[in-house]
Amino acid sequence: MIKSVFFGAALACASMTAGAAGVDVATGIQLAQIDFDTYHALLLERCKTVAPDSVGALAAAMAQWKERNADALVILRQLYKAQLIQQMRARQPAVSEAEIDAHVAAVMGLFNGGLKDKVAAVPAAEARASCEGDYANNLQNRPDMDFNELLKRMTLGR
């Protein structure tokens, strides 16, 4: 399903599988780097083709999820970028801002590259199931999609 491909790709970057019950902090921070606005737009476009009646409910679930998670995602992305910069400067003290920017862009490309192709490659039956409730259910119920909780766990050190 789209969720399987999407989460599999995302979590594979973080050395976990999509079927995991939870997600550790490091993996969650990496998952937060995914451009969900782009992914959601691509998914909605695909749903218009394979399950047009599902688009309204799915868009509403996505908007609700975004409203709850947008601020936490911004913070998590800033923290990850700061970590990338700190690590690069530790390895190369004389690194230029241009080199840092290129490195950060390359890393973000690992998380977001090929989203369009990944969504398009999912078989229609699997895409339909995601459109008709599977993905919305994941947004509402998967612990790894609650970025506020992840941020709280980081703050509390758990």
Q: 50 near 131, Cβ under 8 Å?
A: yes
- pTM for this one? 0.79
Q: How far is CA 119 from CA 1, 42, 64, 87, 111, in A?
A: 9, 7, 21, 32, 14
Q: How many domains does the chain have?
A: 1
Mean pLDDT of 16-39: 75
Q: 25 near 153, Cβ under 8 Å?
A: yes
Percent of the chain with pLDDT strictly greater than 90: 73
Residues 6+ apart with CB under 8 A from 145: 65, 69, 138, 139
Question: Poorest-confidence range of 53-57, 108-112, 137-141?
Answer: 108-112
Residues 6+ apart with CB under 8 A from 13: 30, 110, 111
Range of the domain at 18: 2-156
Mean per-residue pLDDT of the chain: 86
Report which of residues 109 and 14 the model is more confident about: 109
What is the distance between the alpha carbons of residues 145 and 119, in angstroms, rounded to a whole number?
18
Sign of CA dihedral 25, 26, 27, 33: positive
The SS3 assignment for 84 reads helix
Whether the pLDDT of residue 14 is over 60: the answer is no
What is the distance between the alpha carbons of residues 53 and 65, in angstroms, rounded to a whole number?
20
